[in-house]
Amino acid sequence: MKIRRVSGEERLRTSFPLQSYAFDKSPTEQAVSAHYREVLPYHSGNHTLIAEENGATVAAVSAIPMRQNIRGSILPMAGVAGVATHPLARRQGYVRALLNRLLEAMRDDGHPVSVLYPFRTSFYARFGYVSLPQHRTATFSPAGLADLARATLPGDLRWRRIADGYADHRALTQRLMARQHGFSIFPDFRAVSLRDDRKWAVTAHVDGQVVGALSYRIDEHLGQLSADTLLHTGPHGRALLLSFLARHVDQVDRVNLWLLPGETPELWADDFAVETKTDVRVPGSAAPMARVLSLEGLAGIATGPAALTVEVVDDPLLAGRYHLDGTSGALAVERSAAPAAATLTAAGLSALVYGVLDPVEIVLRRLGRFPAETAGALRDLFPPQRPYVYAEF
């Protein structure tokens, strides 16, 4: 097997045909190549590796150089996508070899964390990933928001094609990333795929600042308005966007949109009928997963006042002993030869850093081994937090 990096038009002959077979309906050759040529620019900065046998591509993996908020610090993040093996070459270790190489390359390139959307969580658990919370959607009739349509709200709304509203939408995602643990955004070359989409955008503005943005399309007259995430910085932005949706009462039967974490749509109006849903299906609609690629790369993230030595085991990227010191309020990381207070797998460590599992659960899930008294120190060092991954890929 030969592993090599591909870029540009070479993707059309190597990685894309495998991805197309794995993830698309069976189309005609022509439709595939026209579509993939069109989306080529959105992959231009990806790190793509392929495995070859006798010159033929048998497997491919990619990483998108993204950014993510980790406990208040914005860090480079490797978004893994396009993982596919030729149907006759599956279960022969190709993806294991490619993924290990890809994650090592992304770590060496300064990405201390990685996120992906798994087809099956057990597959990526073998690679040190741990599940993060799944997004929620809300479905409701705009009629339920009638009061908001009549309310006098500070600020104003702008309604445009996404091509024209994209800059405001993008600016808001960048602001939200700075505020929310786990929030991640695409690099420009990929984010512009939204700008080029056939969608509408409504943005909310207060005092010259973008405080809300929603991209959407109307699927059918008197049918559904399907929106992306209801992005806002707080009650003003949200109320303005909801008042916009309320004005579609004679145009669509229902609105479906994605929610930011912590939203309580049942409180948006009186007598408001709304269905919120967390859809987790495996395979099909699994929650995102994340892992740490470099502990040293996390130096400086906000921590609680605790210090201890941990040993990370069974992982080609992280294996070793580290002293983690959060007593200054920011994480300091040093390789150490001191006895370790806790043994952690990469997934166990990642669960602590992302704040998604309690130390007790880490032991129960066999993602780590440590005495009960160490659980307190780990909890103090990495207090629980709810990460929210914005970008879908």
- CB count in 10 Å sphere of residue 310: 26
SS3 for 184?
strand
95 binds ligand COA (CB under 6 A): yes
Q: Which of 42, 304, 291, 76 is nearest to 177 (CA)?
A: 76
For the bound state, the minimum distance from the C-beta of residue 359 to ligand COA, rounded and expressed in Å, comes to 26
H or E stretch covering 373? helix 372-381
209 binds ligand COA (CB under 6 A): no
- Give the nearer residue to ligand COA in terms of CB position, either 118 or 387: 118
Q: Which of 13, 90, 335, 366 binds ligand COA (CB under 6 A)?
A: 90
SS3 for 38?
helix
> Which of these segments, 81-89, 128-136, 144-152, 184-192, binds ligand COA (CB under 6 A)?
81-89
SS3 for 291?
strand
36 binds ligand COA (CB under 6 A): no
94 binds ligand COA (CB under 6 A): yes
For the bound state, the minimum distance from the C-beta of residue 232 to ligand COA, rounded and expressed in Å, comes to 31
SS3 for 311?
strand
For the bound state, the minimum distance from the C-beta of residue 93 to ligand COA, rounded and expressed in Å, comes to 4
Residues 388, 231: contact at Cβ < 8 Å?
A: no
120 binds ligand COA (CB under 6 A): yes
100 binds ligand COA (CB under 6 A): no
Q: Which of 74, 123, 133, 336 binds ligand COA (CB under 6 A)?
A: 123
393 binds ligand COA (CB under 6 A): no
The most distant pair of C-alpha atoms in the chain lies apart, rounded to whole Å, by 69
26 binds ligand COA (CB under 6 A): no
CA 222 to chain CA centroid, Å, is 32
Distance separating alpha carbons of residues 273 and 145, to the nearest angstrom: 10
CA 182 to chain CA centroid, Å, is 8
Q: Which of 14, 48, 69, 85 binds ligand COA (CB under 6 A)?
A: 85
SS3 for 162?
helix
> Which of these segments, 83-91, 191-199, 251-259, 270-278, binds ligand COA (CB under 6 A)?
83-91
Tokens of 390: 């914005």
For the bound state, the minimum distance from the C-beta of residue 377 to ligand COA, rounded and expressed in Å, comes to 32
Which residues contact ligand COA by CB under 6 A?
A: 22, 59, 83-85, 90-96, 118-120, 122-123, 126
